[in-house]
Structure 1
């Protein structure tokens, strides 16, 4: 009887420690997404595609500069941007992407400045990057 209790205790400890390890590993693999709508300058409606491509490229550069190699940025619809990063909370991602201030992006040739205002739409947790290229 004594050996049965010892074996049952060992099995119970093994099951509990495995479940805790799996939960910890899952917790470490969570991240966040943030979605923005871009408000373009009044006269920029005809060049929205170029402006959005530039804004997406700039957001990717911001994340790369902060060493978020496991991240993704993509255009959503006509004027939306979705940003995803692993190992970060939604609040940290909002601060990281600098969405609280109007953003000024230069075009690809660096010749003109695009005043794009990023308007926060939503945020939440993710378990993997879906918008990586």
Structure 2
């Protein structure tokens, strides 16, 4: 019997090649995969990179570049349903992101994108 609470994701850890895995799709399972609080980085094809929200602040190892940012700590990529739920990756999506993240970059730590940053917004009432 298939466990409906598990999804197929691509796990990407610092210094390692990406690999497919099945994970429990609930709050505890998600936080276990990224090592703490998480945030979603929406990718252009409807997939999501789920990353540690505080990776840089907590000094986690720099991992991979996504767009104009460097992700610190482990993350995973999953699909996104029309209802906004995390879903399993397809074979095509797994292959695409396996290829995209197969290179293991070296970071000096001096890259501007590697520095923790906060944005403050002022509201006038």
TM-score (norm 2): 0.29
Structure showing the higher helix proportion among its residues:
1
Q: Determine which structure has more spread, i.e. the larger CA radius of gyration.
A: 1
User: Structure with the greater relative contact order (CA < 8 A, sep ≥ 6): 1 or 2?
Assistant: 1
